[in-house]
Structure 1
Amino acid sequence: MLEYASISVKLCYVEEWRSSICYRAVCVGRRGVGRHGGKVHTTLSRLIILQDFLPVHDQCRNPWRRRPQGVVNTKASLGAPERAKKILMMGGSRFIGVYLARTLVKAGHEVSLFTRGKTPITQQLAGESNEAYAEYQLRVKHIQGDRQDFEALKSKIGEAGFEVVYDINGIEKKNFVYKAIFHYNHTGREAAEVEPIVDALPDLQQYIYCSSAGVYLKSDLLPHFEVDAVDPKSRHKGKLDTESLLQDKGVTWTSIRPVYIYGPLNYNPVEEWFFHRLKAGRPIPVPGSGLQITQLGHVKDLADAFVKVMDNPKAFNQVFNISGSKYVTFDGIARACAKAGGFPDPEIVHYNPKNFDFGKKKAFPLRDQHFFASIDKAKQELDWTPRFNLVDGLRDSYELDFGRGKFRKEADFSTDEMILSAGRVHATV
């Protein structure tokens, strides 16, 4: 039986079916894939009108690849570590690394951040006590350097005895033979830059890598599972190259593929884009019908997942999608942001992007398509569950960041004015 009480869609995929959308409930057992509940033929608008989210079936499981032979299927607790690990974090001074490094330090691990040192290594978080911040400053370590200077990199990390690497940062680099795109925020990272790190660490036990759900080949069949086809021509090709490199090097690795990440300190303007317009009391321009379905995951939940994969045999040589439990429409994000920030219900203006030439400016912060992934593998294999629902997570972001007058980019309503001056195609409240 389908119900609309939750949004963690474990079973649904979407395919075009003539002029309507065919939603099929897929129930996956250990021996194969079967359909549950038949088909529900309806238009997308009729299905979503009940809620901004897709329906849910709690009895379904996902068809991910079986673990390779030889990997221990332990059910041991993933709580406090049996012993402290010496951890090298590539990056760690902003957004994901800020929360991940704190979590690891609190768990008793020895964490060293490798950065260029051009920005402060630590920063006190909103709501963080002076005592907690002082403790973190005292315990976290720093190695200053440029990861693109391979020989210097090796000399600085080679004798430190690091056992685990978290590679979560990215930079834009041009004129490099191994050109690739890396990271969830559209920055670049070449697989060739990972190889010197692996070669320099004789005691390396696990390389944990931040990839992206953007590697999946665009498909009518959703959500994306970890075993789905990837796009070798995507702008995220470098992520796939790096995963292949790690496998070829014989190192134990784990790759995390987030969808859209949000939360305090987010430098990719996802929720910030909506908050700027809500604060200014402006209509929110949304492309198309606004019923495009996507997925947001809180940065603190992502940090928890990164910790869960460390030293966990279930995560060895595996890929995990990580995001929020619920899928949401574009219009639903606008309403959720309004609710989180205590704003009135927003006026949403729909427009056809093909009618405008925005140049190099981005009129909307999300890709104009259905884009979401199953997180069931992580939930079942890692004993991990997101702590934040969407509204609570957005409220956390607003109250600890934007609501305190902090944001990464100034408001730019120039594309909004182009859309609004052309007339409202369709407005909803």
Structure 2
Amino acid sequence: MATSTSFSTFSLLPQRKSPRLSTVICSLSPLPSVSHISQSSLSSQFLSISQPLNIYSFSKRPQFSSKFIVKASADKKKVLIVNTNSGGHAVIGFYFAKELLASGHEVTVLTVGEEASSKMKKPPFTRFSELVSAGGKTIWGEPSEVEKVVDGATFDVVLDNNGKDLDAVKPVADWAKSASISQFLFISSAGIYKTSDEIPHVEGDPVKEDAGHVAVEKYISSLSFPSWAAFRPQYMIGSGNNKDCEEWFFDRIVRNRHVPIPGSGMQLTSISHVRDLSSMLTLAVEKPKAACCKIFNCVCDRAVTFNGLAKLCAQAAGCELKIVYYDPKEAGVDAKKAFPFRNMHFYAEPRAAKESLGWTSTTNLPEDLKERFAEYVSIGRDKKEISFELDDKILDSLKVSSSVPASISV
């Protein structure tokens, strides 16, 4: 049956009785063959896609616990983590500290700013007592005065998880060099890779030379530390993260709202659990020779489409999923503000970590998202008042009602 609506959507109903998550059943409205529909015309079709998710094969992944287990480590290190006080990277330092402490290392976390600041009332900072209980030390101050802040303490390893440019990192790196630190690690970003026709990004691919992280990587390499390494993360999920990823999808799904996705929804990206990042960093500390002078893509080893992530979030929540696709220009919105990810294929491969460190990924999105949704509900975010102003603007441009979501019954 033909339709005159100017948006595309599909409805996904939860498969409650099945313990496996590898197949999603959806309905398909009578349209010409999808292979003949261009991406640009998707927003003008009423579409419900029916296909198995076996391209991900998530159900075949081994099951892992997010709990930290104390492990034996022959060479104990004294590690200083210079941690940012905001943004998505803050949780990396928290998880890294927990894993190091569980492995028997000594850890001090220097967080930028003051302990009494309002930023410390948000996660992961509200969970710093977990670090102290595990034997870690937490201090606050300015990285530019790191020598004064650490008050004469000595360290074997320093991780800068704060600076995005040379002005911010140079004081820490220079102090570490003068203090004869044996290993310097830096949290860079996979966002510095140049857009390429070949994906995924691998270590050694061209980068944006004017990017602040690139200047830092070059400077650190010039200091001739006995061991140094840079890590380039992408998007991440995990308890304590204060930058929305999976929450963005949950916010709409639990309120029975449409999930507006720019383009076709088939864009690939990397979504890693933060424990994968911390385990990679810990291996670098425990294998300084293997990690020396290397760049590591700090990501899991699988990619997921925007559609796939939305489906998995709906399954984790046990709710129906309604997606609409839109062209940001036609809708008059900035995709960077309306959607939590880059509107393009953007993912990297952790090739160096596997080859040099013997690292393996444990990210398991179907199970990880169940855990994330349980916490989402436990903190009451599902009942929180949230503004969907940009969503409503997108839906209005598509002539879709935000109050009465349209869907196709399965």
TM-score greater than 0.5 by the shorter chain: yes
| 1:406 Cα offset (Å) | 4.8
Q: Which residue of 241, 246, 268 maps to 2:215?
A: 241
Is residue 315 of structure 2 the alignment partner of residue 323 of structure 1? Answer: no
| 1:106 Cα offset (Å) | 1.5
In structure 2, distance between residues paired with 1:327 and 1:286: 17
Question: 2:183·2:228 contact (CA, 8 Å) conserved in 1?
Answer: yes
Q: Which residue of 323, 333, 337 maps to 1:362?
A: 337
Give the aligned residue type for 2:297.
N
Partner in structure 2 of residue 299 of structure 1: 274
Number of aligned residue pairs: 332
Partner in structure 2 of residue 101 of structure 1: 97
In structure 1, distance between residues paired with 2:399 and 2:378: 29
| 1:196 Cα offset (Å) | 2.1
| 1:360 Cα offset (Å) | 9.3
Tell me the alpha carbon deviations over residues 84-131 of structure 1, each in whole angstroms, 9 at most, x when there is no partner.
Answer: 211111117752222211111121111111122232695449xxxxxx
Is residue 379 of structure 2 the alignment partner of residue 404 of structure 1? Answer: yes
Give the aligned residue type for 1:218.
T
Partner in structure 1 of residue 290 of structure 2: 314
Question: 1:350·1:424 contact (CA, 8 Å) conserved in 2?
Answer: no
More helix per residue: 1 or 2? 2
Question: 1:154·1:196 contact (CA, 8 Å) conserved in 2?
Answer: no
Partner in structure 2 of residue 217 of structure 1: 194
In structure 1, distance between residues paired with 2:390 and 2:362: 35
Change beyond 3 A, Cα 1:85–1:399 = same
Change beyond 3 A, Cα 1:397–1:348 = same
In structure 1, distance between residues paired with 2:131 and 2:141: 24
Tell me the alpha carbon deviations over residues 273-323 of structure 1, each in whole angstroms, 9 at most, x when there is no partner.
Answer: 101001111110111111111110011111111111114111111011122
Question: 2:336·2:342 contact (CA, 8 Å) conserved in 1?
Answer: no
The 5 Å alignment of 1:5-404 reads 51=53, 53=55, 80-91=72-83, 94-115=90-111, 116=113, 117=115, 118=117, 119=120, 123-124=126-127, 136-137=132-133, 139-147=135-143, 150=144, 152-157=145-150, 159-170=152-163, 189-201=164-176, 202-233=179-210, 237-251=211-225, 252-312=227-287, 313-344=289-320, 346-358=321-333, 362-404=337-379
Change beyond 3 A, Cα 1:363–1:92 = closer
Identity %: 33
In structure 2, distance between residues paired with 1:336 and 1:156: 44
Question: 2:142·2:149 contact (CA, 8 Å) conserved in 1?
Answer: no
Q: Which has the higher contact order (CA 8 A, sep 6+)?
A: 2
**What's the secondary structure of 1:89's corresponding residue?**
strand
Give the aligned residue type for 2:102.
K
Change beyond 3 A, Cα 1:356–1:397 = same
4+ residue segments displaced more than 6 Å: 425-429
Give the aligned residue type for 1:190.
D
In structure 2, distance between residues paired with 1:284 and 1:399: 20
Tell me the alpha carbon deviations over residues 338-381 of structure 1, each in whole angstroms, 9 at most, x when there is no partner.
Answer: 1122223x111011111122369711111100011112331232
Give the aligned residue type for 1:333.
L
**What's the secondary structure of 2:138's corresponding residue?**
strand
In structure 2, distance between residues paired with 1:52 and 1:357: 35
Question: 1:52·1:331 contact (CA, 8 Å) conserved in 2?
Answer: no
Give the aligned residue type for 2:198.
L
Question: 2:203·2:351 contact (CA, 8 Å) conserved in 1?
Answer: no
Change beyond 3 A, Cα 1:305–1:335 = same
Partner in structure 2 of residue 70 of structure 1: none
Give the gaps of 5 or more residues in structure 2. Answer: 1-21, 23-36, 40-49, 59-70, 401-405
RMSD across aligned positions (CA): 3.2
Question: 2:247·2:376 contact (CA, 8 Å) conserved in 1?
Answer: no
**What's the secondary structure of 2:337's corresponding residue?**
coil
Question: 1:158·1:200 contact (CA, 8 Å) conserved in 2?
Answer: no
**What's the secondary structure of 1:104's corresponding residue?**
helix
Question: 1:206·1:311 contact (CA, 8 Å) conserved in 2?
Answer: no
**What's the secondary structure of 2:270's corresponding residue?**
strand
**What's the secondary structure of 1:379's corresponding residue?**
helix
Tell me the alpha carbon deviations over residues 381-401 of structure 1, each in whole angstroms, 9 at most, x when there is no partner.
Answer: 222212221211222222234
In structure 2, distance between residues paired with 1:264 and 1:49: 31
In structure 2, distance between residues paired with 1:228 and 1:282: 40
Change beyond 3 A, Cα 1:406–1:208 = farther
| 1:145 Cα offset (Å) | 1.1
In structure 2, distance between residues paired with 1:394 and 1:319: 29
